[in-house]
Amino acid sequence: MTKVTMTVNGKAASGEAEGRTLLSSFLREELGLTGTHVGCDTSQCGACVVHVDGVAVKSCTMLAVEAEGAEVATIEGQAAADGTLNTIQQAFQDHHGLQCGFCTPGMVMSAAALLKDNPKPSEQEVRDYLEGNLCRCTGYHNIVKAIMAASGQDVSAIAAE
């Protein structure tokens, strides 16, 4: 076991990890941050997306020890301290961009990374970017709509309701 120290959501955090411990397991089991979800074992589903030093990564593809000293952001750190949702979270709620909620943390973290690089993405750019995030509930309609709305675009004309 190795002691791993990192900054998570702006606070210093440390815990024990084996060499094989994935960052996703470390966050969930060692730090108790269970908002990061694990939906597959082939790095396909994206439920575990977090930001490491400002870059979106699937935390199931990274070892905890590789994140030594890194700045990690997870879904738990996205809302304001008083619980106010951030723009992307609020857009997901406003546009019913989630149902069961399991893929949602990864979707929100991926959306944040997309909008950082591309503040006004087209529909196709959103869909292409979400290639690595699976959702089984929404048919993606309201997720794409929510992300476009979060970018400040008018989504009122998008296919009926």
Partner 1 sequence: MPKDSGIGASPKRREDNRFLTGTGNYTDDINLRGQAYVHFLRSDMAHGRITSIDTSAAAAMPGVVQIFTGADFEGVGGIPCGWQITDKHGEVMQEPAHPVLAQGKVRYVGDAIAAVVAETAEQARDAAEAIELDLEELPAVVDMKAALQEGSAKVHDDLTSNLCYDWGFVEENKPAVEEAFAKAAHVTTLELVNNRLIANPMEPRVAVGDFNRATGDSTLYTTSQNPHVIRLLMGAFVLGIPEHKLRVIAPDVGGGFGTKIFHYAEEAFCTFAAKALNRAVKWTSSRSEAFITDAHGRDHVTTIQLALDGDNNFTALRTDTHANMGAYLSTFAPSVPTWLHGTLMAGNYKTPLIYVNVKAVFTNTVPVDAYRGAGRPEATFQLERVIDKAARELGVDPIALRRQNFITEFPYATPVAVEYDTGDYHATMDKLEEIADLKGFAARRAASEAEGKVRGLGVNCYIEACGIAPSNLVGQLGARAGLYESATVRVNATGGLVVMTGSHSHGQGHETSFPQVIAEMIGIDESMVEIVHGDTANTPMGMGTYGSRSLAVGGSAMVRATEKIIAKAKKIAAHLMEAAEADIELKDGAFSVAGTDKSVAWGDVTLAAYVPHNYPLEDIEPGLEETAFYDPANFTYPSGAYACEVELDPDTGKVSIARFAAADDFGNIVNPMIVDGQVHGGIGQGIGQALLEAAVYDDDGQLLSASYMDYAMPRADDLPFYQVDHSCQTPCTHNPLGVKGCGEAGAIGSPPAVVNAVVDALQSMGREVTHVDMPLSPSRVWQAMQG
Q: Tell me which H or E stretch contains 42.
A: none
**Applying CB under 8 A, which of residues 65, 85, 87, 113 lies at the interface with partner 1?**
85
What the block records as the tokens of 17 is 């990890």
Helix (H, G, I), strand (E, B) or coil at 56: strand
Q: How far apart are CA 126 and CA 147, in angstroms?
A: 8
User: Is residue 48 within the footprint of partner 1 (CB under 8 A)?
Assistant: no
Q: How many residues bind partner 1 (CB under 8 A)?
A: 62
CA distances from 134 to 42, 97, 130, 159 (A): 12, 13, 8, 22
Closer CB to partner 1, residue 69 or residue 88? 88
> Cβ neighbours of residue 102 under 8 Å, at least 6 residues apart?
37, 39, 47
**Applying CB under 8 A, which of residues 31, 45, 56, 114 lies at the interface with partner 1?**
45
User: Is residue 141 within the footprint of partner 1 (CB under 8 A)?
Assistant: yes
Q: How far apart are CA 75 and CA 86, in angstroms?
A: 11
Contact stretch for partner 1 (CB under 8 A) within 51-59, 61-69, 99-107, 113-121: 99-107
User: Which residues of this protein are in contact with partner 1, per CB under 8 A?
Assistant: 18, 20, 28-29, 33-42, 44-45, 47, 74-76, 78-79, 83, 85, 89, 92-94, 96, 98-105, 108, 123-124, 126-128, 130-131, 133-145, 158-161
